[in-house]
Structure 1
Amino acid sequence: MASHQQNSDLKLTVPAAAAPESGKQYDYSKRSQWLRAAVLGANDGLVSTASLLMGIGSVKTDVKAMILTGFAGLVAGACSMAIGEFVSVYSQLDIEVAQLRRDKKAAAAAGEIDDGSSKEDLPNPVQAAAASALTFSVGAMVPLLAASFITDYRARIASIVASATAALLAFGWLGAALGKAPVVRSSARVLIGGWMAMGITFGLTKLIGSKSL
Structure 2
Amino acid sequence: MAATNGDAELTVAEEAKEEEEATDDGGGGVSSQWLRAAVLGASDGLVSTAALMLGIGAARPADARAVLLSGLAGLVAGACSMAIGEYVSVHVQLDVELADLERRRRRGGPAPAGLGLHAAAAAVSRPGQAAAASALSFAAGAALPLLAAWFVAGAYRVRVVVVVATASLALAAFGAAGARLGRAPGGRAGLRVVVGGLLAMAATYGVMKLFRTHGV
Instruction: Decide: shared fold, TM above 0.5.
Output: yes
Q: What aligned pairs does 1:14-93 form with structure 2 within 5 A after superposition?
A: 26-31=25-30, 33-60=33-60, 61-93=62-94
Q: TM-score, normalised by structure 1?
A: 0.79
Cα distance change on mapping 1:48 and 1:55 into 2, 3 Å: same
Q: What is the aligned residue count?
A: 187
1:138 to 137, 140, 165: 140
Runs of 5+ unmatched residues, structure 2? 1-22
Deviation at 1:176, TM superposition (A): 1.1
Which 10-residue stretch deviates more, 152-161 or 97-106?
97-106
SS in 2 for 1:80: helix
Percentage identity across paired residues of the two chains: 52
Tell me, yes or no, if the aligned pair for 1:37 and 1:128 is still in contact at 8 Å.
no
Answer with 50-59 or 95-104: which moved more: 95-104
Deviations 1:26-81 (A, max 9, x none): 22222454234212210110000000111011122221111101000000000111
Taking the aligned partners of 1:116 and 1:29, their CA distance within structure 2 comes to 15
1:104 aligns with 105
**SS in structure 1 at match of 2:28:** helix
Letter in 1 for 2:48: S
Give the C-alpha shift of residue 117 in structure 1. Answer: 8.4
- The residue identity in structure 2 corresponding to 1:54 is L
The 4+ residue runs of structure 1 with deviation greater than 3 A are 103-106, 112-118
How many angstroms apart in 1 are the aligned matches of 2:159 and 2:171?
A: 18
Larger radius of gyration: 1
Decide whether aligned partners of structure 1 residues 113 and 41 sit closer, same or farther in structure 2, where only a CA change above 3 A counts: closer
Cα distance in 2 between the residues matched to 1:96 and 1:117: 7
Deviates more, 1:52-61 or 1:69-78: 52-61
Q: Please give the secondary structure, in 2, of the residue aligned with 1:28.
A: coil
Give 2:201's aligned residue: 198
In the alignment, is the contact (CA less than 8 A) between 1:104 and 1:114 conserved in 2?
Answer: no
Amino acid in the other structure paired with 1:96: E
Q: Any conservation in 1 of the 2:101–2:111 contact (CA below 8 Å)?
A: no
TM-score (norm 2): 0.78
